[in-house]
Amino acid sequence: MTLQHVPAGPARASMARELFGRIAPRYDLANRVLSGCLDVWWRRVAASEVAPAPGERILDLCTGTGDLALELERASGHQAAVFGADFSTPMLALAREKHEKAGRVARMTAADGMALPYRDGVFDAVTASFGVRSFADLTLGVREMARVTRPGGRVAILEFTTPEPGLFRQLYLFYLQRVLPFIGDTLSASPGTYAYLPCTVVEFPSQPELARLMADCGLRNVRYRNLTFGVAALHLGTRT
């Protein structure tokens, strides 16, 4: 798979839904191996920056198997009500199981990020980790995240990015495009699947571009923090 083989719009969302459903059983294992467990730290940073307070309602969009949702609960001292939403029902099933094993309430809903089934301003914070790259329309998806966040609430997007030009970027792109797909396909037992990741990462907006998009979608004080030399980035903004 090369860049031109990743469709845009609804076709991308459909491809992603099928792909994530297929790899769901080994998704966590692949994440840990491919990132060297850095994905665990990245989510902890995101939860700490969002700083969920007791009594708050938090939506974790693109929740996948529910890791960030659990981190958000822990960060609140298990006093916030954290909801998870995803368009992949196999992922949601694993998220529910993970939350129940942890003794937490599994508030999971199948939802399309382009049309969230929630009222305006119902959440104190909305997060998304490693999922907005698969949105059929990134601008519409971020607007939906902002819509369901109360005025003064927080929106956080944790996503893979591309490091600044230099030797590390060259090494990272080699790993991303040559090594990662082979390891990911082997771990997931799904040949050809992990070629999707480098395609979507390389074409994703840069950190400043995503910050401007978030501001255009009704968020203020937008800032971002590069993680692990820019392999990932956490963007945060406040709902106007």
**Amino acid at site 171:** L
Complete domains list, the chain, with CATH? 3-239 (3.40.50.150)
pLDDT band at 162 (very low <50, low <70, confident <90, very high): very high
Check whether 3 has a pLDDT greater than 80.
no
- Give me the residue label for tokens 């971002």: 224
What is the 8-class DSSP label of residue 175? Answer: I
- For residue 199 the two structure tokens come to 């395609």
- pLDDT recorded at residue 63: 98
pLDDT tens by residue, 84-118: 999 999 999 999 999 999 999 999 999 999 999 99
Pick from 129, 98, 97, 100: which is nearest to 113 by CA?
Answer: 129
Q: Per-residue pLDDT averaged across 141-167, rounded?
A: 97
Reported as a pLDDT band with limits 50, 70 and 90, residue 4 is very low
Residue 154 backbone class (left: φ over 0; alpha: ψ -120 to 50; beta: rest): beta
Average pLDDT (13-24) is 89
Least confident of 11-20, 78-87, 169-178: 11-20
Percentage of the chain beyond pLDDT 70 is 98
Run of H or E residues at 32: helix 27-35
Instruction: Say which range, 33-47, 148-162, 183-197, 212-226, has the weakest mean pLDDT.
Output: 183-197
Confidence of residue 5 (pLDDT cuts 50, 70, 90): low
Q: Does the pLDDT at position 48 exceed 80?
A: yes
pTM across the whole model: 0.94
Percent of the chain at pLDDT above 90? Answer: 86
